[in-house]
Chains A and B, each alone.
Chain A
Amino acid sequence: MNAASHTFDALGVKLLVVSCDTKFSHKRFVETEPLMKDFKLMMGADNKHKVAKAFGVYSKADGVAIRGRFLINPEGIVVAQEVLTPPVGRNVNEFLRQIEAFQHVAATGEVCPANWRPGKKTLPVNTDVEPMTGNVGSYITLEEILS
């Protein structure tokens, strides 16, 4: 996340990382771990577990937050979430792809099909004014989706 923070900045996305550690632990972690040398993000200290519980990612058995990430739009609505059990890390590139797709949808009203990334074909909005007729296959081919 931190390594890609300039990309999040460019997309206008504010970042917050949270664990159930204290703020003192966060500071020590950043200052002592070589891999954290260039880390510049805001780190929430949810040592009372309230925030992790509110987001449904608190593991009572281990007393920690499990790996959950949430994308919230400017209206305060959660538009995407991914939650993984601890042993497997996340892929920031897939998260960035989703952010770009959600922002494209918000800006244009178009719909982003599977595998969409900027520049690829979208689907028209299905409204009364501009109804989508026929099958999805009338608008996009499988080859276009998989490309």
Chain B
Amino acid sequence: MTSSLVTREAPAFSMDAYDAATGKYTTVSSEDYAGHWTAICFYPGDFTFV
């Protein structure tokens, strides 16, 4: 596991996604966020609430 990404380039990614705004399945990739302030939040799993 890497220790910290701070000051480093964010990893490129691409994955399946669910867009809760439209209710549609889609895909997301790091390219969708290029040039924007972006917040990425990981969480352990659906049906968990903390």
State the interface size on chain B (CB cutoff 8 A): 44
Q: How many A-B residue pairs have CB under 8 A?
A: 180
A18–B5 alpha-carbon span in the complex (Å) = 17
Band of interface residues on A:
35 or more
Q: Can you list 6 A-B pairs with a CB-CB distance of less than 8 A?
A: A17-B41, A19-B46, A46-B15, A56-B1, A67-B44, A88-B50
In the complex, the 8 A-B pairs of residues with the closest C-beta atoms, listed nearest first: A29-B46, A54-B11, A26-B18, A65-B42, A56-B2, A89-B50, A45-B16, A78-B5
A residues at B contact (CB < 8 Å) = 1, 8, 11-23, 25-30, 33, 35-36, 39-48, 50-52, 54-59, 62, 64-74, 76-81, 86-90, 95, 99, 103
